[in-house]
Amino acid sequence: DWNSGNVIAEQVAKIQAQVGSGRVICGLSGGVDSAVAAALVHRAVGDQLVCIFVDHGLLRKDEREQVEQDYVASTGVRLVTVDAREQFLNALAGVSDPEQKRKIIGREFIRTFEQAEAALVAEAEADGEPIRFLVQGTLYPDVVESGGGTGTANIKSHHNVGGLPEDLQFELVEPLRTLFKDEVRAIGRELGLPEVIVGRQPFPGPGLGIRIVGEVTADRLQILRDADAIAREELTRAGLDGEIWQCPVVLLADVRSVGVQGDGRTYGHPIVLRPVSSEDAMTADWTRLPYDVLSKISNRITNEVREVNRVVLDVTSKPPGTIEWE
């Protein structure tokens, strides 16, 4: 029967056999799959592995720190972070169309990643130890979906900004290819990864960029990041993480409504809560959250996030709604 300790030992041996003394590179997205894949490879070949993490400025609160500090502390992985926040904001300036935003974010991500990759490749070559392998967090359902075979780097390309361009100069290392998501989480826990990463709900590659309806700006990102952090904190505190597939928090940046606070009139933005229950994100239903939890989230967001004066609940199933608003 299934045992995470055995799977780890098996995969470590397999990675060692594949990689030998070669150098390995891995992109971390902040999500579960890449984090566990990299941790396994690190367990197998230690500092032959180097990871790249792109901070595109569309991350949720504390996500960068959780990768740079907690993840690195628990694994010992060598990590290069690229701070690309300015670059992404500049590229997104003036753009409101959802598809345009996705395209821009995807393009900038690949560009940024490839630059970091090229620098590491050059450094390794100067050392006389070229990088020959690339880690991918491909899961079993991804393999099935793509009809099996190798080189699955691109299967979810429209969905995987956190994923990588297919890069033929590297041989792929895919230690999660036989595993399901819950098994990957079990292995992550066994490897001692932080719960904030192992237990993380699905989060789209384009991040908060597609949860701001309207143009993406630094101020709007800050508002959304604060509101999102409050919603997540209260859902976790209420013990609801297991019941919810994910809960996008959306800022309607181009909408304003009148409100009242203290003895003054406000004219602020609405925040939408989109809690959904689902098996696979193909279909979903809105989660019937307890009223007291909704009330707590609403009170806290309107009190603590100055620019928000209204919190609304999305009660649409998928279909016809999608999970994300963009």
Contact between 134 and 24 (Cβ < 8 Å)? yes
Give the residue numbers of the binding site. Answer: 29-35
Decide whether 217 or 322 has the Cβ nearer to ligand XMP. 322
159 near ligand XMP, rule: CB under 6 A: yes
Contact residue for ligand XMP among 5, 46, 76, 202 (CB under 6 A): 202
324 near ligand XMP, rule: CB under 6 A: yes
246 near ligand XMP, rule: CB under 6 A: yes
Contact residue for ligand XMP among 30, 137, 194, 204 (CB under 6 A): 204
30 near ligand XMP, rule: CB under 6 A: no
Decide whether 12 or 312 has the Cβ nearer to ligand XMP. 312
Q: Which among 68, 275, 50, 27 is positioned nearest to 162, based on CA atoms?
A: 27
Contact residue for ligand XMP among 78, 111, 189, 318 (CB under 6 A): 318
Q: Which stretch binds ligand XMP (CB under 6 A): 15-23, 126-134, 199-207, 262-270?
A: 199-207
DSSP state of 247: -
CB of 102 to ligand XMP, least distance (A): 6
Under 8 Å CB-to-CB from 302, ≥6 apart: which residues? 261, 308, 309, 310, 311
DSSP string for residues in 80-146: EEEE-HHHHHHHHTT---HHHHHHHHHHHHHHHHHHHHHHHHHHHHHTT--EEEEE----HHHHHHT
210-233 core/surface letters (b: 16 or more CB in 10 A; e: else): bbbbeebeeebbebbbbbbbbbbe
Distance from C-alpha of 258 to C-alpha of 276, rounded to nearest angstrom: 28
CB of 156 to ligand XMP, least distance (A): 7
Q: Which among 319, 38, 61 is positioned nearest to 207, based on CA atoms?
A: 61
In Å, the largest CA–CA distance within the chain is 70
Decide whether 4 or 201 has the Cβ nearer to ligand XMP. 201
141 near ligand XMP, rule: CB under 6 A: no
Q: Which stretch binds ligand XMP (CB under 6 A): 58-66, 89-97, 156-164, 259-267?
A: 156-164
CB of 104 to ligand XMP, least distance (A): 12
322 near ligand XMP, rule: CB under 6 A: yes
- Residue 97 CB neighbour total at 10 angstroms: 11
323 near ligand XMP, rule: CB under 6 A: yes
User: What residue ranges bind ligand XMP (CB under 6 A)?
Assistant: 102, 159-162, 202, 204-206, 246, 281, 318, 322-324
